[in-house]
Amino acid sequence: MTKQIGIIGAGVMGANLARNLARHDFEVAIYDRDAHKVKALHGDRVFPTYTIENFLGTLESPRRIWLMVNAGKPVESVLDDLKPYLAAGDVVMDGGNSYFKDTERRMRDLAARETHLISLGVSGGAEGALHGPSLMPSGAREAYDVVSPFLRAIAATTADGEPCVTYLGEGGAGHYVKMVHNGIEYALMQAIAEIYDLLTRCGGLQAEQVATLFAEWNTGVTASFLLEISTKILNTHDGEAALVDLILDTAEQKGTGRWASQNALEVGRVVSMMTSAVEARIMSAHKAARVQAAKILPGPQPTRRKVNELINAARAALCGAMVIAFSQGFDLLHGASDEYHYSYALADVAHIWRAGCIIRANILDEIRVAYRVGLDHLLLSESLRETVAQCQTGWRDAVTRGVLGGVPLPTLSAALAYYDSYRSERLPSNLIQAQRNFFGAHSYQRLDRAGNFHTHWGAELTKKR
C-alpha cells in the first residue's frame, strides 16, 4: 500500500510531525540515516523505511516529501540523495530553518527538473509539531495545492477554528517569514529576560515573586506564550533553589536571529530590538571575560527603593517593548515584500502566528485587524498608538532605573530609542550630512531651497549686517 506523504528526518520534530499526520488519518513513510530513530517510530499509519529507494518507492504519485533536517549542508546532502529519483510533479517541502536565498537557489535547481520545492517555515517546537504547529509555506501555487490538505489538517487552529497556515506566495517567502518570526522571538525573549533582571537586581525580588508578576501580566497586550512559559520556568525549583538561578548565563543561537538583523540592513529597515537581542547573546557567551571585568570595572550599585513603582514601570516597559518588537518585525516584512517582490499579506502573517507558534500573543489579533486597513506601520494603528502612549512614562522610568543602577537593558532601551526616533520630525542627521560633506565632498540638500549643495566649511557664507 502506497503512503500519502513521507518525512525525511526522524528527530524530535520530524517524529512528532509524523505522529501528527498519522493522528489525522494520513499514511506516513519516514526515513532517517540513523536507523535506530526510524525503528522507534513504527506504529499505526507510520511506516519506517531504511533506504532512500525504499522510502520513495512507498510514496504515491506525485510524491510529497517533507524534509525535517538541519539547515545548510544537511539539506543539500539530502537533496543530492533525492535528485536521481525525483520525477516531474513531485513536491519536496523544506521544513527546516533554511536561509531564504539558499531556498530560492534550490527551487531553481529543482524546477529545472520539473520538481517543486516548497519553502516551509515551521514554528511551535516539539509540542507544536505534535499537536499543531504554525506553518508558513511558499513556492509554486500548483505545488502548494498538492500539499495543502496535509498542512491544513495538522496545523494549529485559532480560537475561531481557522488553521494557522496560509499560502505566502512564490519564492522563499516561507523561510523569510520564519526568519523574521525568529527575530521577533529573539527580541521578545531578551525583553522578558531584561525585565526579570531589572526586578531582581533593582527590586530585590526572587524568581518566584517575578513569576507571580508575570502570571498577573499575562493578559491584554502582554499576554503571550513566551511570558506564560517564563512564569513556569521561574516557578520551577531544584531543591530549595529556583532552577533558573542555577543555569549558566550563556545563551546560544542558531543563526536565524542574526540573519534577520543582517538582512534588515540590506532591505533598509530598522530592527534594533532583534539586533540588540542577538548582541546580548553574543555578550553572554563571553562569560570568562565578564567575570574578570566585573572585578575591575567600576559601576553603580542597583538601589532597591520604591519597589512598587519599579514593578509598575517594568510592566509598562514590557508592554512598550512588545509593541515595538512586532512593529519592527512587520516593518521588515513590509520592506522585504518590496525588495524581493513577495506577495504575502501582512494580515495573513499575523493570522498564522496567532496559535501554535512560539511568538503567539494576544497582540496579533490587533495586528491582523490593523493591517487589513492598509497601514504603512503598526505604530500608526490607533489602538497600538494608544497602548504605547499609556505605557511610555513607566517605560522611560524603567529604562532610567536600569541605567542609574548599572543594569544592562539593551533591548528595552533600543525599543524606546526606536519609538522616539520614529516620532521625531527632525533627527540630527543634518549634522551627519554636513560632516560627510566636510571630509568627503558628499553633497547635501537644504530645507530652504532645492538642489544638491557643497560647502567650503569655515568660510563666511553670508555677510553679517
Residues classed as catalytic: 178, 185
Amino acid at residue number 46: V
Amino acid at residue number 351: H
- Of 135, 100, 144, nearest to 339 by C-alpha is 100
**Rounded distance, CA 401 to CA 421, Å?**
21
**Rounded distance, CA 21 to CA 133, Å?**
12
**Rounded distance, CA 224 to CA 58, Å?**
42
C-alpha torsion angle, residues 353, 116, 267, 344 (rounded to 10): -40
- Kindly report the number of other CB atoms within 10 A of residue 457's CB atom: 11
- Of 220, 171, 183, 130, nearest to 326 by C-alpha is 183
Query: In sequence order, which residues have a C-beta less than 8 Å from that of residue 171 and are 6 or more positions away?
Result: 100, 104, 107, 119, 138, 139, 340, 341, 342
Locate 93 and state its grid cell: 517541502
Amino acid at residue number 111: A
Amino acid at residue number 364: L
Counting Cα atoms < 13 Å in the Cβ hemisphere of 291 gives 7
Strands (E) located in 150-284: 237-238, 241-242
Amino acid at residue number 119: S
- Kindly report the number of other CB atoms within 10 A of residue 434's CB atom: 13
* Coil, strand or helix at 97: coil
* Coil, strand or helix at 207: helix
Amino acid at residue number 459: A
